[in-house]
Amino acid sequence: MTQAQYTVRDLLDATGFKYSYRSYTGTVGLERVVREPVLHRLNLAVVGHFKLFPEHRIMVCGITEHSYLEGLTLEERTRRIRDILEHYGATIPLLVLTCDLKPFPEMTALCAAAGVPLVGTTFETSLFINEINSFLEERLASAHTVQGVMVNVYGVGIILQGDSGIGKSETALELFKRGHLFVADDVVRVFITSSGVLMGTAQDVIANFIEVRGLGIVDLRAIFGIGAIMDRSRVDLFMELKHFSAVGDYDRLGTRQRMTDVLGMKIPTLTIPVSPGRSVVTLIEVAALNFRLQERGYYAAEELDRRVLERMKRSHA
């Protein structure tokens, strides 16, 4: 298990392609550590109210705060910004201006002097806060890595596992071509959200890439576009692909429930025999749909057992 720790530099590098940050303080404060996965607006701090101020969170200055500061005299505005930074300049990891707002010269100077990095983005405030909250929740969570390929089939997050060369990546590609979503290849980073959901995502370095024997490394996002990739997905099922054996002890009724423990959570696990002529992709699609039925309380084996018992009762009546 690893505990992710992000610096401001890590955050800006990882999300800059989407939010097109503009830095106003250069490299100042970029090594500050982001400790909390929740952003906070300056809000009442601009009027001098600091009670319960969450000083370790990334701060956001939106239209409301900016327009209030803009209406003050230069002297008063400088005093308000200085008060915030004198109180919390040592602990605020980052200050972000949203909605393409431009910083006041005194804001830039005071942030630089306090060592607080100041950046801007064109994104709307609420949207930016919600998306970065979600991003940081993932990055700062306790995490674990799992060997396998992750796909999302009919809304069901599936991690495919099996021996090297059994065809996990090729299976994922075929699922992808049928309209399902690709999440990660080779190594899946799993973590638990604050709401208690086990999620899976790709490692940053290999995100969007898949290795296919005979082709090498393929960038699915570059070829098919961002709509082909799912940044992260709930982990619902593990599927272990195994070479078919005539003496293999396979579940033929669906009554055995095997679980895999990941970060203390029990995840249903299926073993899928692989052999020439057997459509593994179709089996995975059916397994995903069957899982959705089971989530609603419908189990085919139990339904069949009920029908057989009813027939037996009627025949003996």
Reported as a single tens digit per residue, the pLDDT across 170-192 is 999 899 889 999 999 999 999 98
Q: What angle do CA 294, 250, 246 make, to 5 degrees?
A: 150
Radius of gyration of the chain (CA): 26
Closest CA to 1 of 213, 146, 195, 161: 146
CATH assignment, 2-139: 3.40.1390.20
Considering only 34-43, 72-81, 192-201, which range has the smallest mean pLDDT? 192-201
Q: Above pLDDT 90, what percent of the chain?
A: 62
pLDDT band at 70; cut points 50, 70, 90: very high
Predicted pLDDT of residue 214:
84
Looking at residue 109, its pLDDT comes to 97
State the chain's mean pLDDT as an integer: 90
pLDDT-above-70 percentage for the chain: 95
Confidence of residue 304 (pLDDT cuts 50, 70, 90): confident
Residue scoring higher pLDDT (201 or 228): 201
**Per-residue pLDDT tens digits for 191-201:** 988 788 999 99
pLDDT at position 224: 83
Domain boundaries, given as residue ranges, for the chain: 2-139, 142-304
Residue 73: burial class (beta carbons within 10 Å; 0-12, 13-18, 19+): exposed
By C-alpha distance, which of 157, 150, 152, 119 is closest to 235? Answer: 157
Give tens-digit pLDDT for 1-26.
Answer: 445 578 999 999 989 989 999 999 99
- Into which CATH architecture does domain 142-304 fall? 3-Layer(aba) Sandwich (3.40)
Q: So what's the pLDDT on residue 247?
A: 45
- What is the structure's pLDDT at 255? 65
pLDDT of residue 2: 47
Pairing assessment for the beta strands 156-162 and 237-243 based on DSSP bridges: parallel
pTM value surpassing 0.95: no
| Pick from 5-14, 36-45, 133-142: least confident | 133-142
The end-to-end CA distance of the chain, in Å, is 60
* pLDDT digit string, tens, across residues 144-175: 899 999 999 999 999 999 988 888 989 998 99
What is the distance between the alpha carbons of residues 255 and 299, in angstroms, rounded to a whole number? 9
